[in-house]
Amino acid sequence: MVQAATTFRALHDGPGAFIIPNPWDVGTARILAAQGFKALATTSAGMAFALGIREGRATPEQVLQHCHTLVAATDLPVSADLEKGFGDSPESVGETIRAAAATGLAGGSIEDHTGDPDHPIYEFSLAVERIAAAVEAARAVPGDFMLTARCENLLWGRDDLDDTIRRLQAFEAAGADVLYAPGLYDLDTVRTVCSAVTKPVNVVMGMPGATFSAADLAAAGVRRISVGSALARLAYGAFIDAAREMSGDGTFRFAHKAMGFTEIEGHFADRDP
């Protein structure tokens, strides 16, 4: 997977912005690869939905197995949504990165969300220490591993752009390769964040109200665009609507919107023995 990691870093060095979509199983990973995307990222929510659990409830073993499965699904580099890591301490974050890198991932993200709704964001100094530990571990693993540092303020009721930028700048100083603050709500804010740091910035699309184009985001300084759980939510939403129609109305009109068998199967043709 050395070549995949090298390719992944080069994508961040190129001009403009690239889209890194988020599959949640082997089939969706191979469909996205067939569509010509250059890299993939896991989605913790999509993984959880596929396991039939809520986000944040997967065990470390489940997360690592999921990462291994998606890495093996295609030849594309894969970056993992590792949430807060497998614990609160900097040491546990370092262990998370070492274990994740061993699955063949080209990179992964660590966020400053605690998982505790009463205290959702790690205190500043601990958040920075956690990223520093992740960076140290990433630099020590064989090959290359791109670390993305996430500030979760805007998703958890802390609409404080100054603190968000302060955290991203501190994560950059700690050595993070990519910076990410999900929930940026307009292009001016995106532009402000991108101009406040020198490392590549990831922006997530597919959230309500955020409908900027890739060209708009590239012009604002974004280097990488992910979609988080949006594709999984779209697919599961269509599935649930169909299930409700059957259970509630006893009808099957949903079938008119279903893609043809042959068209879907065509995405997997290069996997035939």
Enter the tokens of residue 177: 């390769």
Rounded mean pLDDT, 180-185: 95
pLDDT at residue 207 in the model: 87
pLDDT in tens, 39-74: 999 999 999 999 999 999 999 999 999 999 999 999
φ/ψ of residue 86, rounded to 5: -95, 25
Integer Cα distance of 43 and 80 in angstroms: 7
Rounded mean pLDDT, 211-218: 94
Integer Cα distance of 254 and 54 in angstroms: 26
pLDDT in tens, 91-129: 999 999 999 999 999 999 999 999 999 999 999 999 999
For residue 273, pLDDT beyond 60: no
Other beta carbons less than 10 A from residue 90's beta carbon:
20
Surface-to-core class of residue 146, CB atoms within 10 Å of its CB (0-12 exposed, 13-18 middle, 19+ buried) = buried
For residue 270, pLDDT beyond 80: no
pLDDT at residue 13 in the model: 94
Rounded mean pLDDT, 131-151: 97
Rounded mean pLDDT, 147-158: 97
Cβ atoms of residues 4 and 106 within 8 Å: yes
Shortest CA distance to 46 belongs to which of 69, 17, 18, 12?
69
